[in-house]
Each structure stands twice: as structure tokens, then as C-alpha cells.
Amino acid sequence: MKYSLRVATVAGIDINLHASFVLVLGLGAWPWLMWGARGALFGAGMSLLIFACIALHELGHSLVAKAFGIPVTDITLTPIGGVAILKDRPKTPTQELLIAIAGPAVNVVLAAIFWGTAVVLGHEAYDAAKLTLLREPPRAEHIWVLLIPANLALAAFNMLPALPMDGGRVLRATLSYVFAPEQATRIAAVVARVVAVGFIALYAFVPNTTPMLPFIAVVVFFGAGAEVREAKVNRVLSLIRAGDVVTPYAPRFEPGTTLGQAMQTLMVSPLPVFAVELGGRLVGVARREDLLQAAMTKGAWGFVSSVLVRDVPTVDPFDTLDDARSKMQRADVRAAAVMRGGVFLGLVTELELAQAMEVAERLKATQTRDSLGREVR
Ligand SMILES: [Zn+2]
């Protein structure tokens, strides 16, 4: 179930408005209501313009990510800001740095453009004193008066060094030139938590600060923790090879396997994705949830072929699980086929990743030397 509406598609990236976005129009109109319907319309229009700037900010991240070959699914705008969904993480500190900085850079450029047009049009829009404009009825000039500081504030706020915000990512990327990725993330997370506590203190001790501050503090505090866990997963998975987790004993289907037979297998196997073979050759995979759904609608005499997904990423047995996970995230199906010389050895699914994590975390030996014999940072 999706609670969002697509409003535009740019460079193959859908821009969606979350249903809760109607709040933004109301909140935007509210302070202008004293000027009647015209004021309310102006306020709602202004909040739309500011969110258009936020969409461009997210598009900045997305286009740089795409330039590095990272697929971007969509951008969703919610009342608390925008999110661009990247299907993979940046592969180098430089990639992360440039993707993170691209968003705030868009807002700086927008502020410069609005400032330039204000000068050309003869508005004294860049005069900060004009911010007292709420005492006047809305005029066209107010668009500039509001959009210039709004974009500068967006850039400055996002550049605060608080992971998972943009500035935190810039900090982590910069630290990654010196430290191992996990160590860099840990340091950046400590800084983020200090900033989060600072937000709370600011809200508690400085009058008239926005109630958004403690809310953002909570998001940053737990977001930083999630980044640390993610960095740890990436390190541990980079120590294990895909060949280490595939098993010839995993149940497999044929396209002609009936859904009834498949249901019997589902009762004894926890796998989220099953390989589908024909004559010893991999033809695709079948997802657990698709099989269950098909069994419900088609009954026991339907076939596995009706839910076959042919597009499966492949990995070599010597590739790391970290690489396999990257490919799984980019693909629509959360599985990778381990192939050697055209021979299908088995699937890597979320279950194999979770099992490998569980074991590797307990094996101190794999933390100092990986299975390929390289020293680990
Ligand atoms: Zn951003």
C-alpha cells in the first residue's frame, strides 16, 4: 500500500508527494490567514515553492548518484522534508562526499539565482530586515524575500555534521580517507549524537525555537545508530565469500512444479527465494510471497512458472557477500545466483546473509583475517 502520489518524473526518477503533504499546505497558509483568502493562498503557494526547492535538493543527490551508476528508485516529499531512495550505497569516500554535498549545493545555487533575479527586477529582496514582512499583506516581492533565506537555511541545516544528514555523510566520507569505513562511521555517529543532544538543549533553554528540533534530534540519534550497524554488517559481509554460503541441499523447483508441491516445500524450508531449474540449468527464481499469493489465487494445480522471475543477478563464488548484497539491492529480486563457469551452484538470499552474519560475528578469527587471506583493516 502506497500513500503517495506521483507528481513528476525526472531522468527516470519518480517524484512522489506523501499523503501527509496536505499538512504542509495548511501549515504554510496558517501564518498568512490574517490577510484573508489571498493570504492563505499565498502561504500555501510559498510552502509549495519551498518544497519544490527541497525536491531539487533531493534531485541533486539523485543525479550525482546516478552518474556513479547507483540506481535511484524515487524521491518522496513528506512534511518533514524529502527522501531520495538509492538502491545501493556509494562505493568510495569520494562518491559519498559528492553525492552528499550535491543536495545543499543545489540550494546554494538556487539562493544565488533568486538573489540575482531580485537584483535584476529591482527588489530589495536580499535585505534581511524584510523578514518582518508578515506585518504586511502578501506581495510578489515576498516570494524572493522568503526563498533566498529558505534555501540558505536548507543548505546550512543539512550541512550540520549529524549523520544521517548530508553534513554527517560529508564528515564520514572525509574520515574514510584516513580510517576504515566502520571506524569512520563510529566517529561520525558520536559527533551526530553530540549535535542531537545540542538540538535538545537548544530547544530546552532557548525560547521560541521550533518543536521540530527535539523531533530531528531523535531521528538523528537513532539514524546514527542505524548507520553504525549498517557499517558493521558491510564489514562482516566483506569477509565472507559467496561460495562459502551456497549449499547444494537447498530445495529447488522446476517451472512445471505444481504450487501444491511448492507449498509442501515452503512448510519445511524458511528460504525467502527459491531457484527454478530446468534440465540442470537455472531459468529464474520464485519468491516465497509470490508462491503463497499464487497458491491462494490459482490453487494447488497452478505452476511455479506463473511466478517465475527471470532477471537474477549473478556472482562468482569468490565474490564477497558484501558484493552479492549490493547486487541483490539493485535487482528487483532479493537473491543472487552463484555461478562458476556457467554452472549454477546455489542462491544467496537474505537468509544466507543473516546466517553468515550470525556466525561471523562470533568468529573472532574472521575479524582479523578474511577468507581470501587478506589482512583486514
Ligand atoms: Zn540532502
How much distance in Å is there from the Cα of 144 to the middle of ligand 1? 22
Ligand 1 centroid from CA 94, angstroms = 16
Contact 347, 335 (CB under 8 A): yes
Residue type (1 letter), 27: L
Ligand 1 ion: nearby residues, β-carbon < 5 Å = 103, 158, 166
Distance (Å) from CA 228 to ligand 1 centroid: 19
Q: What is the pLDDT of residue 111?
A: 93
pTM more than 0.85: no
- Ligand 1 centroid from CA 167, angstroms: 8
DSSP letters spanning 140-169: THHHHHHHHHHHHHHHHHHTSS-TTSHHHH
CA of 134 to the centre of ligand 1 (A): 29
pLDDT for res 1: 42
Residue count (the chain): 377
295 closest CA partner among 253, 261, 251: 261
Q: Is 2 exposed, middle or buried (0-12, 13-18, 19+ CB in 10 A)?
A: exposed
The pLDDT value recorded for residue 2 is: 65
Ligand 1 centroid, distance to 154 Cα (angstroms): 9
Tell me, in angstroms, the distance from the centre of ligand 1 to residue 147's CA.
Answer: 17
Interval between CA 64 and ligand 1 midpoint (Å): 12
pLDDT along the chain (377 residues), means of 10: 79 87 79 80 87 93 95 86 88 95 97 88 60 66 83 93 94 96 96 95 86 88 94 91 90 95 95 94 95 93 94 95 92 92 93 90 59 47
Between helix 141-158 and helix 93-121 the angle, nearest 10°, is: 160
Å from CA of 59 to ligand 1 middle: 9
- Residue 165 CA to ligand 1 center (angstroms) comes to 7
CA of 130 to the centre of ligand 1 (A): 28
Å from CA of 63 to ligand 1 middle: 12
State how far the Cα of 62 lies from the Cα of 51, in Å rounded to an integer.
Answer: 16
Contact yes or no for 288/274 (Cβ under 8 A): yes
Instruction: Of 307, 311, 327, 308, give the one whose Cα is nearest residue 319.
Output: 327
Q: What is the pLDDT of residue 146?
A: 83
Rounded to the nearest angstrom, the distance between the alpha carbon of 73 and the centre of ligand 1 is: 16
Cα–ligand 1 centroid distance for 225 (angstroms): 19
Q: For residue 152, report the distance from its CA to the centre of ligand 1, in Å.
A: 13
Taking the centre of ligand 1 as the mean of its atom positions, its distance from the CA of residue 155, in whole angstroms, is 8
- Compute the distance from residue 65 Cα to the ligand 1 centre, in Å: 12
Nearest to 352 by CA among 282, 290, 286, 269: 269
Give 329 Cα–ligand 1 centroid separation in angstroms: 21
In the reported structure, the alpha carbon of residue 217 is separated from the centroid of ligand 1 by a whole-number distance in angstroms of 16
